[in-house]
Chain A
Amino acid sequence: MKSLLLLMGVLMLAVSARAEDAARDWAADIYFYNPEIRYERDPNQDWVTRQPVGFAIGGRYHDTKVFLEYSSFSSSSGNDTLSIARQQQDYVLWLQQKLLTIWSFGLYVSAGAGLYHETVTTTLYGTGENDDSGLQLMGGVGAGAEVLIANHFIIGAEGRLLAGKNFDPNPQGSMLVRLGVEF
């Protein structure tokens, strides 16, 4: 309920705010909180959700943004005797282009390319081993909407497809919220 009220408040703010995209030609953007839901398949072929958190830093020139994004999520399985913990970390350079503005919401498309790596920690009878996949290529495309509030605060939502060598499914779907500042 609280989330719904928050969303409604944001929408009202956006509707009442002026379109800010013409205020500056250049700007720096920091997305300090990017909660995400990513859809993977487990070995049973059941859908499981992963919840990466991340942040991004970059800049905007007119309607084009470039930013570097970091995100990470973990999962674990097993029991007290034998367990496996997995962590995936992504480093992706995104290019975002606003296409049009509706009600102060900028609608955009984006494309990104970068690297990811996975770390697996296997623990057997209390002794753990770490293994790393090394850096692997990944990329993605997305589309979303973003609003600039009070000339500095960014709120956005985006859906995207991410592709990578070991992803299952490949590509895999993702939805995220972006919270940031522009200055």
Chain B
Amino acid sequence: MKLFGIRFVQSLLAAILLVFSFGCDRNPDSDRVSGDVTVRIPWKLEGQNYQLQNVTLSGIHSLYELSGDYATFYESPGIDSDHLVGMRPKARFIKSKGVFIPEDDLSQQLAVIYGHMQRLKNLDDATGASTLNQGPRDVGVAVHYQGGNGADKNNALYEGTTDSILIVPYTMPDLPIAVNSGILGHEHFHSLYFKLVEKKVFKQRLITHGANVLTILGITPTPEMGITSTDSTENEADFAQAYLQSFSRGLNEGLADFWAWVYTGNADFIADSLPSELTARSLNMDEAVGGIRYVNSNMWKVYVRAAAQQLSRTEDGTYVGYTPPGCEGNRLVYCLGSYYSRNLKSLTDIVKQTRGLSAIDARQEVARTVIRVLPQLADAFLNLKPTDYYEPAAFYRLIESSMTNLQPQEKEFLQNLYQPTFSDASNKVVLSAQTKAAKQEKR
């Protein structure tokens, strides 16, 4: 057996010390990167498709955790004392020519989300919402959502109790939701609506994606739920509350889609990640169902009842259920919201034309009006009697009265939205072609 000499031991020890002096810090170098950092990430400039762009992230405290002035991330978080809790994900980058390149998809998504939280804060500042969200936004990634209703994947949510945005895993082959600038803008708006309306009126964030009116009304669906009279057996106050909550949710979704368009200029932002949503959620009026621009309270009551009680009516001259195609069940609020997002986009197009503004300035002008309107909307909700129904078109009256320097064409457009589609005296609506076909089949 050969042994080694002392000289070798000394040499080996020296080699070990030398080796571990090669940046042997526990954390990668990115942990010491702070301030303004340039990353190369998927980014969509107005009028262009998503491309890899150099984007500057400001206020970074640690690039390793992607934490900074505008966002704090939690991986598969839980909730404790109304705050997100959990491990901080660790982002990995290489540095190439002064730019940090993400090494994996999660690191890339963290960088993209941070960049958008930073710029959405800038939009808040430009639209009079700067005081609503303070400090870095809490964002959960790889969230295990247990609320059911299919919201546990391919989704993003705003959670009011923790004031956080939650991104659940994305399993589709399209653009990941965490990278979709419009969807991030949409979820960000929910934080504004929550603070200006929901917190005051409902004292809570109304139930998140996937909830439906059945839950609000406490109705257990059965195969045949018949109702032959408008004088339903429902408690009127309960129904009015269900109406208000579902209306508020629908408006919230519509305004959030509008805000996403304000932020990105992309009317079809949703389709980049959720192509099946294009028809229901596009802000282009061409995509509108039947080109209908407005909804009145009777329509909304009908929709709410239809969502609760399915389509199992006979047309007997009294009450008939109807929902637009693709708006059944818990999709109702999104479809109704699209009326508002599309009308506000049309209004913005008129503002741009009448005032000679750039596209971005016109969008921000109407966005500022929306921010001014929301506290008034909350007051209107609070002043409703228990059996009152908020007239959906009244929202446009608030817009009209809150616009600065209102132009004649803008006023005319808004006033056209007050016109009722159906007479208040009549609740009769036409069965959809789908329902007619279903009834034929049953016979």
Is B6 part of the contact surface with A, judged by Cβ < 8 Å? no
Spot the interface stretch: A2-10, A53-61, A71-79, A147-155.
A71-79
Tell me which residues across on chain B come within 8 A of A42, comparing CB atoms. Answer: 104, 106
Query: Contacts A43-B92, A141-B16: A97 and B42 contacting too (C-beta < 8 A)?
Result: no
Is B76 part of the contact surface with A, judged by Cβ < 8 Å? yes
Is A139 part of the contact surface with B, judged by Cβ < 8 Å? yes
Is B219 part of the contact surface with A, judged by Cβ < 8 Å? no
Query: Contacts A43-B92, A100-B2, A124-B50: A163 and B103 contacting too (C-beta < 8 A)?
Result: no
Contact B19 A113, beta carbon cutoff 8 Å: yes
Tell me the minimal C-beta distance from B428 to chain A in angstroms: 47
Most buried by B among A80, A99, A129: A99
Residue of A nearest to B4 (CB): A99
Residue of A nearest to B108 (CB): A84
Is A157 part of the contact surface with B, judged by Cβ < 8 Å? no
Query: Contacts A165-B23, A165-B28: A81 and B175 contacting too (C-beta < 8 A)?
Result: yes
Which positions 358-417 of chain B face chain A at CB distance < 8 Å? Answer: none
As a 0/1 sequence over residues 66 to 106 of chain A, the CB contacts with chain B under 8 angstroms (1 = contact) are 00000000010111111110100000000101111110000
Question: What interface size band does chain A fall in?
Answer: 35 or more
Is A52 part of the contact surface with B, judged by Cβ < 8 Å? no
**Which DSSP category, helix, strand, loop or mixed, fits chain A's interface?**
strand
Q: How many A-B residue pairs have CB under 8 A?
A: 154
Tell me which residues across on chain B come within 8 A of A127, comparing CB atoms. Answer: 51
Query: Contacts A82-B179, A170-B27: A139 and B18 contacting too (C-beta < 8 A)?
Result: yes
Residue of B nearest to A79 (CB): B173
Residue of A nearest to B90 (CB): A43
Contact B105 A84, beta carbon cutoff 8 Å: yes
Is B52 part of the contact surface with A, judged by Cβ < 8 Å? yes
Q: How far is the CA of A140 from the CA of B21 in the complex (A)?
A: 10
Is B29 part of the contact surface with A, judged by Cβ < 8 Å? yes
Spot the interface stretch: B93-101, B119-127, B210-218.
B93-101
Tell me the minimal C-beta distance from A7 to chain B in angstroms: 24
Contact B2 A170, beta carbon cutoff 8 Å: no
Tell me the minimal C-beta distance from A51 to chain B in angstroms: 17
Q: How far is the CA of A113 from the CA of B172 in the complex (A)?
A: 43
Contact B87 A45, beta carbon cutoff 8 Å: yes
Tell me the minimal C-beta distance from A42 to chain B in angstroms: 7
Tell me the minimal C-beta distance from A93 to chain B in angstroms: 11
Contact A111 B22, beta carbon cutoff 8 Å: no
Query: Contacts A79-B176, A82-B105, A97-B12: A164 and B2 contacting too (C-beta < 8 A)?
Result: no
Tell me which residues across on chain B come within 8 A of A77, comparing CB atoms. Answer: 104-106
Tell me which residues across on chain B come within 8 A of A182, comparing CB atoms. Answer: none
Q: How far is the CA of A74 from the CA of B209 in the complex (A)?
A: 38
Tell me the minimal C-beta distance from B436 to chain A in angstroms: 39
Query: Contacts A43-B89, A43-B106: A134 and B96 contacting too (C-beta < 8 A)?
Result: yes
Query: Contacts A84-B104, A111-B16, A124-B50: A166 and B94 contacting too (C-beta < 8 A)?
Result: yes
> Could you tell me which B residues sit within 8 Å of A by CB distance?
1-4, 8, 12, 15-16, 18-20, 22-30, 40, 42, 49-52, 75-76, 87, 89-92, 94-96, 99, 101-108, 110, 142, 170, 172-176, 179
Known: A43-B75, A44-B75, A124-B52. 5 other contacts (CB 8 A): A43-B91, A79-B173, A80-B174, A82-B108, A133-B96
* A-B residue pairs, 3 tightest by C-beta: A139-B19, A111-B15, A133-B94
Question: Would you give 29 A-B contacts (Cβ < 8 Å), ordered by A?
Answer: A44-B76, A44-B89, A63-B4, A79-B170, A79-B172, A79-B173, A82-B105, A82-B108, A84-B105, A97-B8, A100-B1, A100-B3, A101-B2, A102-B1, A109-B12, A113-B18, A120-B101, A122-B40, A122-B102, A124-B51, A131-B94, A132-B94, A133-B95, A134-B95, A139-B18, A139-B22, A164-B22, A168-B27, A170-B25
